[in-house]
Every structure is written in structure tokens, then in C-alpha cells.
Structure 1
Amino acid sequence: MKKIIYFLLAAGLFISSCKQELDINNPNAPTTTVFWKTATDAQQGVNAVYSTLHRDRMVLWQWFYLTVRSDEAFSVSPDIAIPNNMDKFLITNYNFDRSNLIYGDNYVGIFRANQVLENVPNIQMDEALKARYLGEAKFLRAFFYYNLASLYGNVPLILTPSKSTDLPPNATRAQVWEQAAKDLTEAAAALPVRYSGTDVGRITKGAANALLAKVYMQQRQWDKALAPLQYLVEGEGKSVYNLVPNYRDNFLSTTENNAESVFEWQLATNLSEFTPEDTQTPNQNYGSPLAQFLAPLNVGFSDAEIHRWVVNEFHKDKTTTGARDPRLAASFLYDSTDVRGPGFTQIYGQTFAQRYGLTGGNRNRVWLRKFSNDAEPGRTGEGFRSANNYRFIRYADVLLMYAETLNELNRTADAVPHVNRVRQRAGLAPLPANLSQAQFRNQIMHERVTELAGEGHRWNDLDRWGYFESQDKINELIQRDPAFSTFRLDRHRLLPLPQRDVDINPNLNQNPNY
């Protein structure tokens, strides 16, 4: 399907004041008096909200905090700030640039969404299209708040276009979740079921329901999560989404926006951009640097790697024909991506044995394959402009969410078939129908690793399952990831708010025990 290239509206449509309240309009920049007039303005304003997803720190460093900080992955980057802050919980600088950039970029997206929600209602245009644009903006604002609640918790709730003089107070994490749920409920009511042509990739009713379910599940509000998931699995969404037969098609640039895609970040290569991180000119980087940072040693930066226990999780089941779980090879590059071993496993045009030998520490290293472009013929390395879309919510995730929710509502027998759909695609035998609620809960934890490893959900999974609420649970994590030996229950569930914001805003309090 055709990939959307989102038009980038300038990040600062509106001129902020300095402390002296000097307010001089840039004659070359659009202002509210001339911009929000037409349906085209509305479309470009919404597209600007989407374009926030192209900012490097959104797709790159946010992934690190959601995955490397979990027990799935770790970092041995020579940039010691990455393993210290994103892996080992050794956070001493509350103005650490990469954490602050994630925080700031989510608020850039919120600012843009608020501009749409403030101004588009006043535009004379087709009412159905207007409602859709407002629904897209509400979804994206909710998504940015979902990220902020997941990582920082007690952040300011800003629901109108902000000014430089604003001093917003903290909201509680529960209040942030509540606002996200409100936005998503309203978005789901306004958004279409599907798109066609160049609009494919925009936010749908299904995406809004899926993210709404995630918001409720993070609060363990299982009864509220049920309805949006029922829409996707038992209702109208049943005719829209399905599992694709080939698991790896969810991670290839040639099979984007397929039937399994629920919320997919649209990425592309812009050959006219000036630099990999250029955000100051119209020649925006539409691609992602994630593949470059995750690619194996001597191919990319190898700044994040997968713990070996994750690989071992795939060996707990064999297919009905006695073969290895095929998702293993689709998910990781390591010594046995090819089941025949390092002499046959291809790492960007060379065998594992040729690149790393058969002995030594490299033999046990594991790299995530899902965001890579190694399937492209002749590809020998990665770069900062990967056009491979990021499938943030897949239908397999939805099925596992639905099963988890049903189980928590004491409907375990009803939950089993939805997990079996995911297992069947991998060629695995179905689960027995007589599992207890506790047994099924443990099974779901296993299934989410083997189906969704490295896709950016692990931190929230652990949080939802209570792993950050007791030392016994932390001790379990230490067995899989020694970095958790420095995790403090009274501190590290959330990241610190940017200290620069706390220092200049008397209404903003730092997160507990930082």
C-alpha cells in the first residue's frame, strides 16, 4: 500500500514570548490570524501532529526507555550514559538530554494537537471531515499522554494551546490516564473504520479502541478494557483485522499496512534532507534511526542487545511438526538465527561465523531483527533514514490483550481461543481449555514475550503485572536482568521530570525520591 508522507508544519506556528514579553512576529511565519482558515489548513495542522512521530527521540530513545530499561534488553554502548540511564537505573542527572528530549517531544505533539483542537472547530468545511481531523488529533494527544504517563507519571495536563507564561502543575498519573481515555473514547466515535489511497496509515477507529484498552489495562480496569477489545475481536473490527500468515511480514518494508496493522508509524526516506537529525528545515527526516542503533556489531551501533533468556523462552514450545518456533528467527539475529547454526546464519551478507568466529563473547550476543532492513538484497549495513514502518499495535497484541482481560474477569475458558489463534499462526499446539486463572496468567506472560519481544511493550507489561511493586518481583527480574539490582521500589518505576522544568515552574514537583 502507498505510504503516507506527512506534511511537516513548522514546530512553532506561534511565536513564544521571552521573559520581557517582547512579542515580535516573524514576517515569514504563519500566524493564527492567517493560518486556520481553510480545510487545507486543517489537514496540514493534523499532519503536523503526525509528524511528531518522525522526531528521532520519539522513535529511538523512547524505544530504549520502554525496552532496554525492561528485562528484555540491555546496553553495552560505549556511550556510558545510555547503559547508566536507560538500563542500570543509575540516574544522577535529572536533565539527561535524551530523557528530556522524549518528554519535550511528546509535549511538542500535544502542543500541535491542542492547536488543531482549538482552531479547526471554527473552520467552515465539510463537517464529517472536520470530525475526522479532530478525532485524529484527539487520538494523537492521547498517545502522547500515554507515553508520558507510562514513563514519567505525574506530568502536567495541558489541554489548550500553551503560552510561555504558563506554569502548569502536576497531574496525577491516574488523571493523565483518565484524560487519555476521554480523548480516545471521543476519537473512536469520530474516526473511520478504514482508509483508502494516500490516506492509508492514518488513525482508525480500531487504533483508538486498541489504545483505549491499553490505557484501561495499565490501570487494571479490566471491566472498562473489555468493550473496546470486544469491538476489535468480536465486533466490527473482526472484519477489518486479521493475523497475516507469515509472521515476519509484520516487520518488512515490503509488507506495510497489512491486515494485522492496527497503529503503524508511517516512515519513509527523504533523500533531500540535509542531516540525519534535521528538524529545523522543511527537508525533514521521515525515516527512523532505530535500525542503525540496534543493528549487530560491525553493522550498526549495537547500542542495545537482547538478553539470552528471551531466546530461551522460544524453546519452551515446538511446533506441531517438532520444529523450532519460527518467530525466533524472525525476531533476532544471533548465532542460530538459522537453526543450522553460525555457519549458516546470515548477518548482512556474511555468516555469523565469518563475522564473529565460533568462540568468544560474541557467540552469545543477540540483536533485535524486527526493525532491520537485512531482508533487502545487497544490504550490508543500516543508516539513519530507515523507511521500515514501526508497527506499534498489531492485531496479535490485541488478541493477547483480550485474552488477558477475559482471564482477569474470571473468564479463562473464553480467553483460551484468542491465545490459540496467535499460537496457531506460529504452528504451535493449542493450549488446553482447563487452565486455571493463575496458570493462564503465567501463560500470557510467556506468550507476550514470544509474540511481541522488542516491540516496545515490555515495560508497561511489567508495570501492569505488578513487578515494580514488591521486592520479591524485583528479585525475579534480577535473575533475568542483573541491572535490576540497582532498582529502587520507591523511585525507579517512573523517570524524573526534567529538573529544568521543575526549577522554573513553582507549581511543578519532582517525582518522588529524586
Structure 2
Amino acid sequence: MKRNKFKYSLIAIATSVLASCSSSYLEVLPKGSSLEASYYTNQSEAFAGLVAVYDIMRKNSGGFENMITMLNAGSDDTVAGGGGATDGVGLQSFSNYTISPTTVPASYWGDHYQGVFRANFLLSKLPNIPMDATLKARYTAESQALRALYYFNLVRLFKNIPLITTPLASTEIYNVVQAEPSAIYAQIEKDLNDAIPVLPISVPASDAGRLTKGAAQALLGKVYLYDNKLSEAAAQLAIVNGTPNGANPYGYKLLNNFSDLWVVANKFNSESILEVTHTYASNAGWGNWGSGTDEGNSVVQMIGPRTLTRPTGSTAPAYYSGGWSFNPVTQDLYDVLKNDPRFSATILDAKALKAAKQINYISGYQDTGYFINKFMPKQSDVSTGLGNIELNFRQNSYIIRLADSYLMEAEALGGTGARAQALLDAVRSRVGLPSIPVSLNAIANERRLELACEGHRWFDLVRTGKAATVLSSKGFKAGKNEALPIPFKELENTKIKQNPNY
């Protein structure tokens, strides 16, 4: 695959410099004052630090505790699945809403704060690093935008979180208190507004994966939507979206074929706005899985059927046989999608293939017979490198893509008017569906169909106040489960207070 040197040429330097950062946010800087004083003194070291800030983006789809698999489990699109009721306790307890301060995976807090503190540390050093002023400004903007992304995930997941924008001394870390969510959103919006004018409109292929002006604007539009600043959201997203299915200032364009979004080699395509890169070049093994130095897509491994085989003469695709059967698709999502043109690209009907004697597989926990085809592991994508196959799938994942941005703008417009109608129509016409009258309900339904199993559904339900109704059968309780519990270890010897009703 074509992978830019940005990510890997200095990854070893970046990870070694920051290896002593704990997954707990309380241990935020490399230990040892001599290391702190002597590093970030030149452009190459600043670049290594920037790579380290970017690396937390892999949380979307890398490691067992990735965002996509976790958020899918809590939604009505999938259940937890896996090997049993205790396989991935965090996933299981989020899926059935028994999640507690001791079962919530601490990495959703710690990894994102690690990204925040890496950004804070680099931002504190950049002003005094002798390097080209234009390049320094770009590094600053990228760090600000990444900090915004990590805080956005934190405030959506946990709601009541500390706001820290400078490196902390060891004497300060136990006295940090939580900020109001409004203050977190204000900082996120400031970071993005500061970064957007500086970021480039596009990047060369060698830098694919780095933030652009369009990516930061799309993220800002999404942040405004969650912050209920609808006119601001619509204005930002309108710039990103341009004319639906027409001219676009950043060159974004819906792919003609929905299924092409999931072709593994089709990285950084015209629909991609903000994308996480994965590779098998890291040759990850069990010794470093989830440590930040492995770069494979873990969702692909986790959602595949267990021990899948093809009988002689089968015409079924050659899927990888060793998946772990997490996130089996619910009957509800199957029924919603079964007559939609996006069905086959979204859901693998393994039940039907098995009945037709095209495949065999071993049923996992909560097996429904339906699997997420968007991330289905294929034999053709198995790594031939030195690492473990399970940890080295190279499919990228989208954080924001153009169809998502279209639907967010339509929602920000209140689900009414000619432009909202055109945005909804563009998403539907791409898959051959006719126009339907635009409304907030129609937009919400389209988001579920278009973005199924990509990790958006739980946030959408919480944001729109529908979670308590839609997820009641899974155990969701209003006034509690809109936010995750803060991990128990983050409360010890600190002034941080637990979220309500946990």
C-alpha cells in the first residue's frame, strides 16, 4: 500500500520519547526532567512529537478497546458478541448497560487524555524551537485540531471531564477538577477556529492522513451540531459540502458506488474527509498489541465469524477464517436494511450462506447469523509480514466522510428547505433511491442506513434524545447512560467526581 513517511519514518522516535506516558491522564509527561529539557529542540524532534500526537487517532479502530466496536455494542445496530458473556467485559457491560466504574475500559479516558497531553506538551515547546515559521504554524494548527478531536471524544463519552491545555507539574495533577461541558466545547471550538486558517487545503499523497482545512471545518461543523449551535454548524458544513453532488471547494465527491467505500485498497478516496490509516507494515505481535506501536485495524479481526470455512465448490467470497465474532448485527438493523441497496455492502448474511451450504462457521456468543460486511476480513487482505495475522489488517476507517457531512448539514438546517432536501437526495440518489420529503426523522433514518456499524449510531441517539426509548430493551436508563462512568482509578486520590447515578 502507499503509506506516507509522515506516520512511520519517525514513529519509533515518537513512541520511545513518550513511552513512559501512562494510560492514566494523571501521569502526563515523560518521566525525568533531563528528557523534558533536552527534547523538542529542533525541527525533526518537533516532527516526531507531532507524529506522536497523531498516533492517538488510531483509537477509532485500533486495539481491542477501539471506538467503533465499543460504540456499536452500545447501539441498536449490534450486540457485543464475542466468545462469551465475559469476553471483553467493557463491551459486554456497555451493550447490556450494566457498565460501572470498574468495568468501563479505562483506555477510553486515558488514551484520549494521552493525546491531549502530547498535544499540550508539543504546543508548549513549539514557540522556542528554531524552525521555519510557516511549518511551525502548521504543526501548531495540527496539534490544536487533534487536541480538539480528542476532547470532542472525551466530552461525548464522559461529559464531565477536566480541561487541561498546558503541561501539568507533578504537584498539580491531583488537584485537577472537572469543567462544565460548555467550557470543553468552547475550547474545542477555539482550537479548531484557530487551526482552520492555517491548515492546507490539500496534502500530497506522501502526507495522506494529515489534517486539512476541510477536515477541520467538517469537524468544527460536527462539534457545533453537538453543541446545539445549529446555524454555525450549517455554515461550516456548507463550506465543506459545496453543492450537493456538484462543485466542492476541497474536491470532495461521493463515490459512485457505495460498496467502493469498503474496498481495502481504496484509501483516501474522494469521499473521505477525516480518515484513520492502518497498515500491516508495523508487523505487530501480541507483545505490543494495543500499546500504540501496532498499526493494524482491530475492528476487522474482531467482527469476523469464527472458524469460517468454504465447502468444496462454494462461490462465497474468500473470507478470513479466524474472526472473533464481536458486534453481530441485530435483527432490527437487518430488517431496516434488507430492502435497501446498501444492504449487501453493510451486512453479511452468514445465516443464508450457511443454509445454502456456501460457508460454515462456529456460532459465537449472541450469534444472529449477521455480520458487519463493511469490515469483513478477507483472505486477500491477510498480512504476509512477520506479525500476527489477527493484528495486522490494513483497512482504514473513516471518522468523517462526505455523506455523513451532507446529513449533518441537513440536520443543522432543521430538516427543512431546499438545501436540506438536496443534501438528503444526494445521499439517496447515490444508491439509486428516490427522493423522499426531507425532515429530521427522514435524516435520522438515512443516517442509520448510510452509516450503519461505523460507530455513529450511539452518539446520534444520545444527541437527539432518543437513546432512552430506542435502547430501553438493552437496559439504557435516562439520566445515567448518556455518559460513561469515569474509570475508578481516575477517582483515586483526585478531586474528580463520578458521573451521576453510577
TM superposition shift of 1:58: 6.3
Out of 84, 88, 92, the residue aligned to residue 96 of structure 2 is: 88
- Whichever residue aligns with residue 289 of structure 1, its letter is S
Instruction: Report the Cα distance in structure 1 between the residues aligned to 2:282 and 2:51, rounded to whole angstroms.
Output: 20
- CA 1:326–1:183: 2 relative to 1, 3 Å: same
Counterpart CA distance in 1 for 2:112 and 2:16 is 12
1:404 paired residue among 400, 406, 411:
411
User: Following the alignment from structure 2 to structure 1, what is the Cα–Cα distance between the partners of residues 16 and 263?
Assistant: 31
Alpha-carbon deviation of 1:287?
1.1
Unaligned runs of 5+ in 1: 316-323, 469-473
Identical aligned residues as a percent: 30
Q: 1:475 to 1:229 in 2, by over 3 A?
A: closer
Which region of structure 1 is more displaced relative to structure 2, 228-237 or 486-495?
228-237
SS of 2:36's equivalent in the other structure is: coil
Aligned CA distance change for structure 1 residues 467 and 293 (closer, same or farther; 3 Å):
same
Structure 2 equivalent of residue 221 of structure 1? 229
Which of the numbers 318, 323, 331 marks the counterpart of 2:346? 331
Q: Give me the whole-angstrom Cα distance separating, in 1, the residues matched to 2:483 and 2:51.
A: 31
Residue 119 of structure 1: CA displacement? 0.8
- CA 503–33 in structure 1, closer or farther in 2 if over 3 Å, else same: closer
Equivalent in the alignment of 1:45: 49
Aligned to 1:413: 418
Partner AA of 2:324 in structure 1? F
Task: Show CA shifts across 1:349-404 (max 9, x none).
Answer: x824x4479xxx96x4211121233272789x961221111111111101111111
Using the TM superposition, give the Cα deviation of residue 508 of structure 1 relative to its aligned residue in structure 2, in angstroms.
Answer: 1.3
The 1:237–1:168 alpha-carbon spacing in structure 2 relative to 1, beyond 3 Å, is farther
Closer/same/farther in 2, CA of residues 475 and 35 from structure 1, 3 Å limit = closer
Match for residue 178 of structure 2 among 157, 160, 170 = 170
1:494 paired residue number = 483
Q: Which residue of 1 aligns with 2:302?
A: 293
State the distance in 1 between where 2:274 and 2:195 align.
Answer: 14
Task: After superposition, give the CA deviation of every residue in 1:26-61 in whole Å (9 maximum; x if it has no partner).
Answer: 6xx972332212221221111111112346766743
Structure 1 residues 38 and 447: alpha-carbon distance in aligned structure 2, compared to 1, 3 A threshold: same
Match of 1:477 among 464, 471, 477: 471
Pairs within 5 Å for 1:297-446: 297-298=306-307, 299-315=322-338, 324-335=339-350, 341-342=352-353, 351-352=358-359, 354-355=360-361, 364-374=368-378, 376=380, 383-407=390-414, 411-432=416-437, 435=438, 440-446=439-445
Change (3 A) 1:272 1:467: closer
Q: Tell me what 2:212 maps to.
A: 204
Q: CA deviation at 1:431?
A: 2.4
**Paired letter, 1:398:** S
The aligned amino acid for 1:247 is F
- Residue 445 of structure 1 and its aligned partner are, at CA, apart by 1.2
Q: Which residue of 1 aligns with 2:316?
A: none
SS in 2 for 1:263: strand
What is the CA distance between 1:11 and its match in structure 2?
A: 6.3
Residue equivalent to 2:3: 3
Distance in structure 1 (CA, Å) of the matches to 2:376 and 2:400: 18
TM-score norm. by structure 2 comes to 0.84
Counterpart CA distance in 2 for 1:136 and 1:393 is 17
Structure 2 matches for 1:31-70, cutoff 5 A? 31-54=35-58, 60-70=65-75
What is the aligned partner in structure 2 of residue 154 from structure 1?
160
Instruction: Provide the rounded CA distance (Å) in 1 between the counterparts of 2:355 and 2:64.
Output: 32
Deviation at 1:462, TM superposition (A): 0.7
Structure 1's 128 and 427: CA in aligned 2 closer, same or farther, altered over 3 A?
same
Q: Does the Cα contact within 8 Å between 1:195 and 1:202 map onto a contact in 2?
A: yes
TM-score, structure 1 as length reference: 0.82
| Correspondences of 1:20-35 after superposition (within 5 Å) | 31-35=35-39
The CA distance in 2 between the partners of 1:239 and 1:57, in whole Å, is 28
CA distance in 2 between partners of 1:304 and 1:424 (Å): 29
User: In the alignment, is the contact (CA less than 8 A) between 1:330 and 1:370 conserved in 2?
Assistant: yes
SS in 2 for 1:393: strand
* Higher relative contact order (Cα pairs below 8 Å, separated by 6+ residues): 2
Secondary structure (helix, strand or coil) at the match of 2:398 reads strand
Aligned counterparts of 2:454 and 2:154: Cα–Cα separation in 1? 18
Q: How do 1:116-131 and structure 2 match up within 5 A? A: 116-131=122-137
> Which residue is 1:133 aligned to?
139
Does the CA-based 8 Å contact 1:75-1:304 persist in structure 2? Answer: yes
How many positions carry a matched residue from both structures? Answer: 464
2: CA distance between counterparts of 1:378 and 1:37? 41
Change (3 A) 1:131 1:377: closer
Measured after TM superposition, the shift of residue 255 of structure 1 is 0.4
The residue identity in structure 1 corresponding to 2:36 is T
Q: Take 1:273 and 1:403, find their aligned partners in 2: how far apart are those partners?
A: 41
| CA distance 1:197–1:378, shift in 2 (3 Å) | closer
- Report if aligned partners of 2:289, 2:391 keep a CA contact under 8 Å in 1: no
Q: C-alpha distance in 2, partners of 1:406/1:241?
A: 21
Match of 1:321 in 2: none
Contact preservation (8 Å) 1:212, 1:228:
yes
CA distance in structure 1 between the aligned counterparts of 2:64 and 2:401, rounded to whole angstroms: 17
Mark the CA change 1:447 to 1:215 in structure 2 (over 3 Å): closer, same or farther.
Answer: same
User: CA–CA distance in 2 between the matches of 1:266 and 1:377?
Assistant: 15
CA distance in 2, matches of 1:57, 1:286: 7
The aligned residue for residue 510 of structure 1 is 498
Provide closer, same or farther for how the CA distance between residues 460 and 11 of structure 1 changes in structure 2, counting only shifts above 3 A: farther
User: Within 2, Cα distance between the matches of 1:24 and 1:192?
Assistant: 31
Separation (CA, whole Å) in 2 of partners of 1:335 and 1:272 = 30
